[in-house]
Structure 1
């Protein structure tokens, strides 16, 4: 290894301890970026919100796994393919539920589960083995990029965009547009707090119609009932019904302590001799850096913020940057081998 650069920053201003991203940095052994799923209801394990707990648990599990490579007395921890590795990470979170006496509760209610994405790059013998679940990414040698973005996020991002523009047209302030569109996106149109502006039946009907029309145009192959489930029930009440389920068109994978179908496990294998640079990143970067290193990726981040700070334009998202926080946690890890 000739060079290593790493950077991670939580989205909440003044509260770096809430960062749900984690990094694994073990030179000449392996590297990973892990992105904890934002907690839905305040559930904590080990003093951490569920997404951060899942992220830190998987971080530790990967470190243990990498240290075990080549040890004959630990055959169960030797690399045996992508699915085996992902199952191992899920088992670590599952063991955490057991340790905290929460297994029955998380089996009954997906909203209580911790979850995360992972992008791992492991040096196994003369190979670089890449394993991914979710939307964290990797770029090899500056051009070969793997990042699986889920269309499901486009539905809730469109809902937020349509709500934001609707309230802006009514003359609401930017702060109110952020607040109201966030409430729609997070809770869904049918779960708004009674008496709130966003609970007005006429407003709900209008935003539902606008969001559904835009989603049909953007994702014509997705059944309407899947679009409506997300629009009406949002991230907090609807999204989990698609995780690690293969039947829906909008299904997606996440490591949450339960089985991850092979359909959602991505893997690549490279000859290590062909690798010059490895760059891993979380989805807090909406645009890649033009070159290797933190400075390049931070410049790309600044460009996105300057163009679309609210994330309702080219970089539409389920969240935007506000006075209290950035759009998302973000992490970058770059390794130059040659």
Structure 2
């Protein structure tokens, strides 16, 4: 008999329904964790911010795909490899752009697109087929882990850390350090609001200098021009230039309704007979659970929060836990087959 456990919690204390993570739970058929990309500019479709929109569209598309397996009347929905599956999910998002009348707009401007990662496990005959795009994770039998973290996030996380430490050294409050480091991380050093402390030329010069030096040391094989693009443009104005492109060292894959290059589609295939446990998780878990189940993974979450609440230490990130929100949405799904 199968045993299943699942948990998902949005990061915003006042708006749990804004959770951008989604789960697919279809016993004996398939499972998935989808993580919507945090919206950059307030764009919404179908009554949801763009990241949640993409996450929910992909959730529904995966459920439809899983239900269609083995149905000869739906040949276009039969599993034909990872790229085929990812292309199908991309078309589902694209169809919703068309329905919302925004296809031309999102084609012209990546900042308007919804986006998400996916970690999907599909039971096809006597095999477990795994397809992933982005940094959601999988653990098989408690030790075989698949999670593709992107070095690009290290650049923006370093920017945030260096900004935080700069203002902390000036004696600023934790709230100020949170607010000011978020401005730099999201808007980049060259897009700061007029009149903001972070728009001061001296402040920008110091943060750029510190960030570039730290990034070069941490990522010595990354072209300086790519690091500068991210430092100058931040998440809002720079990161999208790296998604689903193959000519940049910091390139990465994501589902956004447009083509995902094959290099960013991860696949694995396992014989079901060899699997005891399947665990899927979003990147809101910075530390893997020491065992199977929600309790173990939540203990891992608490350990991280106790050690590095603001995410400027071992678990540095583009966001940290504040008085109003956790660092990120987090989702876990565990299936014990034996």
Shorter chain as normaliser: what TM range? over 0.9
- CA distance in structure 2 between the partners assigned to 1:244 and 1:2 by the alignment: 37
- TM-fit CA distance, 1:14: 2.2
Other structure's SS at 1:131 match = strand
- CA distance in structure 2 between the partners assigned to 1:96 and 1:129 by the alignment: 27
Q: What is residue 324 of structure 1 aligned with on the other side? A: 324
1:131 aligned onto 2:131: yes
Q: What is residue 296 of structure 1 aligned with on the other side? A: 296
- TM-fit CA distance, 1:138: 0.3
1:213 aligned onto 2:213: yes
Q: What is residue 34 of structure 2 aligned with on the other side? A: 34
Within 5 Å, give how 1:173-188 maps onto structure 2.
Answer: 173-188=173-188
Other structure's SS at 2:130 match = strand
Query: Deviations for 1:183-213, whole angstroms, at most 9, x for unmatched residues?
Result: 0000001100111111110000000000000
Q: What is residue 43 of structure 2 aligned with on the other side? A: 43
Q: What is residue 110 of structure 1 aligned with on the other side? A: 110
Query: Deviations for 1:242-281, whole angstroms, at most 9, x for unmatched residues?
Result: 0000000000000000000000000000001001000000
Within 5 Å, give how 1:34-183 maps onto structure 2.
Answer: 34-183=34-183
Other structure's SS at 1:299 match = helix
Query: Deviations for 1:213-252, whole angstroms, at most 9, x for unmatched residues?
Result: 0000000000000000000110000000000000000000
Query: Deviations for 1:78-135, whole angstroms, at most 9, x for unmatched residues?
Result: 0000000000000000000000000000000000000000000110000000000000
Within 5 Å, give how 1:186-335 maps onto structure 2.
Answer: 186-335=186-335
Aligned alpha-carbon RMSD (Å): 0.4
Query: Deviations for 1:275-305, whole angstroms, at most 9, x for unmatched residues?
Result: 1000000000000000000000000000000
Other structure's SS at 1:190 match = coil
- CA distance in structure 2 between the partners assigned to 1:51 and 1:286 by the alignment: 20
Give the gaps of 5 or more residues in structure 1: none
Give the gaps of 5 or more residues in structure 2: none
Other structure's SS at 2:255 match = coil
Q: Normalised by the size of structure 1, how large is the TM-score?
A: 1.00
- CA distance in structure 2 between the partners assigned to 1:53 and 1:107 by the alignment: 17
- TM-fit CA distance, 1:144: 0.1
Other structure's SS at 1:189 match = coil
Other structure's SS at 2:117 match = strand
Q: Which runs of 4+ in 1 moved over 4 A?
A: none
The alignment of Structure 1 onto Structure 2 pairs a total of residues equal to: 338
- TM-fit CA distance, 1:2: 1.8
